[in-house]
A and B are shown apart, each in its own frame.
Chain A
């Protein structure tokens, strides 16, 4: 049986490997294999997989990458993730990547898709648009056609047409992945002392690199091992972290929140692995099924339009309730338009529901954690001391 320590070590190694050795080996193992990178927050990984490709989440360079070239492409008032992504590319750390998908998350990532076309003209680079209209006959039709266009593009990369049956088979595998991810989240919410936030983060992050079949095995092993863990329950408060769905916080920040007395019982660090909140239907037209799941059964984040004010932020209130959280930490990257424009609206909703919150900003390469510990620690203390029981 694989131990928690072994799983953590494997996940850490994958996280720290900015040369993406696993993906390189995966590609080299069989001629014709393709690796398709994607940025946060969501792409239909099923279609990449169905074409025999490996979806590879590119979530910036974190705090381990010294950004030299990337800074020459961005002004100081642009967030960190595009510059470290450029750094990864110009230093040839992504030279094995055959395609890159840029989801519709913000103007910076949108423009990065065009930069990719200019800088790496031999790489299939696609801005991947998603509907902001949620009617099946309007946004749904648009999205099915966009998915078809993506299927054709990835099919050209694969050198063959990607069939409906192949996509259905991939949906089955990714449904399993999402089920297991939800199980890990539920496990952590129930017994957060047995599933430290940093470990869960690394486990999820591994899923951005590993083949889905391998990640599914790893998730099962983790659930088995974590359940048997002998960990001491601390007198921490329970919080939800939100705002970190694109540029990722440094791992030390995740650890610092927990060390300062907060159990993270839900977060939005890597949404792509639980974007669809229940199984995507397998029978029938697979693209229509993916579209239906996107429109009616997907997570909420700032990149999505909320078409009624009444529903605004209710997903966050629901998460607090479902996970028995006592407060919310807004951890947003500096200069992140979606997260920072969204924040006051979410804060208003939390205030209306009398849910305490605190906010701070970070960059993926933030090194100084003392202010974070102080803020999160004070927040935890205030919840413990002053919240109405």
Chain B
């Protein structure tokens, strides 16, 4: 129990904007049926938000519901409910949190009822579990399921065959299916307009992520990053609201860079940047604040993370392209982080460690997410070997509070930071963290 009086959190304009956008979408979901609007459920990686918007559908994202419920400490009960109904303790806790929520009345994170979806848009990208998740959910809702199979980039790149396969599914399965569900005729020019808006937000978003190359970093690209990805990974990519959000955010960060300030944390501005880390893997959501605090209390800032790439690796150059709308959607789906093969993931992390001048790599391995977790110990070895910087491993879960052990996580994190210190002292690794007067990174967009 935290006996301290809750501290007033300073809300910046971008934070307020995002809050308004998220609650607006939940309000749309809650009122969808009475307003005669159709609802589609879909996943974050490889989501087709622009296409969904073309059909005036309201977008429900079960992963986001699980995250929001996790942060509100509701998922423990939901998971237990799903396990009571025969779901294994070994499988994805997002799935069980979703099924448990449905079983317990399907109230959304804001306490309002979530509508039964009119269609499940199964964008099968980068995660095997998605396929089973929507088969399980389909049993509950008995609604149409539209499957978009996105092949895995097993050889580290997309091929023409993969792209053609996705485009053909879009043309002949997904678009006709969404037309049928929504009653709205597809208009490719409308899609182009929305994609044009997406690309604007994407460029701002990349600038935000790359601002962490500054010393001190004005952002935390993991704990703060999960907020920054919110609009672009979910129901808002392609909306003017999303562009406005990133414009506001960019302005705030520009100001922080000019002032030489560090990231904003729940306890205010982070004063001293002692360690710069790259983090691989999703965060734990049930103890998110406590988890973050362990980092900022030690002066550790995350300068790049892979989790903020699950909904698109925009910093490698991809932008939605209005001139090639369907091909661009295909490329987007193919390029999401967990749809890239393990060697590509290692290359990306190595690039982050070097370009963001990080002290090392920390892996938060998630018990119930094989898509991320299987192979992470090899990633750790490879990054240490290639960069000469130390790497460390902690283990938590997404939304199952039973698998967050604060003492263990803190202990491992502190040991890791001591290891970095020791390496610095022995001259093996030069200090990468902010030094007074350090110049901002030159190559900013």
Contacts and interface: CB of A to CB of B under 8 A. Distances in A.
Do they bind each other? yes
Interface of A: 72-75, 77-78, 82, 102, 104, 106-108, 110-115, 117-119, 126-129, 131-133, 135, 137-139, 141-142, 145-146, 149, 302-303, 305-307, 309, 312, 332, 334-338, 340-345, 347-348, 361
26 contacts: A74-B374, A74-B377, A75-B373, A75-B376, A78-B373, A108-B374, A110-B154, A111-B370, A111-B374, A114-B375, A115-B375, A118-B343, A126-B155, A127-B154, A137-B172, A141-B165, A142-B164, A305-B131, A332-B88, A336-B90, A337-B132, A340-B88, A340-B90, A341-B136, A344-B87, A361-B88
B294 interface: no
A99 to B, nearest CB: 13
A78 to B, nearest CB: 6
Nearest to B133: A341
A209 B408 CA distance: 45
Nearest to A342: B132
A137 B173 CA distance: 12
Contacts of B378: 73, 115, 118-119
A132 B377 contact: no
Contact of A117 (B92, B95, B343): B343
Interface in B147-172: 147, 149, 151-152, 154-155, 159, 161-162, 164-165, 168-169, 172
A113 B154 contact: yes
Contact of B342 (A115, A139, A307, A347): A115
A75 B379 CA distance: 13
B85 A133 contact: no
A334 B142 CA distance: 30
Contacts of A115: 342, 375, 378
A97 to B, nearest CB: 18
Contacts of B370: 78, 106-108, 111, 335, 337
B138 interface: yes
B86 A344 contact: yes
Interface on chain A toward B: helix, strand, loop, or mixed SS? helix
Nearest to B146: A307
A347 B127 CA distance: 24
Contacts of A334: 90
Top 10 A-B residue pairs of the complex, sorted by shortest distance between their CB atoms: A114-B342, A127-B154, A341-B132, A142-B165, A132-B149, A340-B88, A111-B375, A145-B161, A107-B371, A114-B341
B62 to A, nearest CB: 14
B348 to A, nearest CB: 12
Contact of A126 (B136, B154, B373, B374): B154
A139 B373 contact: no
A132 B129 contact: no
Contacts of B88: 332, 340-341, 343, 361
A361 to B, nearest CB: 8
A149 B139 contact: no
A72 B377 contact: yes
Nearest to A113: B154
B169 A133 contact: yes
B26 interface: no
Interface string B360-375: 0000010110110111
B145 interface: yes
B152 A338 contact: no
A127 B341 contact: yes
B346 interface: yes
Contacts of A104: 152
Nearest to A126: B154
Contacts of A113: 154, 341-342
Given A73-B377, A106-B370, A309 B90 contact: no
Contacts of A131: 149, 165
A125 B151 CA distance: 17
A250 B212 CA distance: 51
A129 B154 CA distance: 8
B10 interface: no
B339 to A, nearest CB: 10
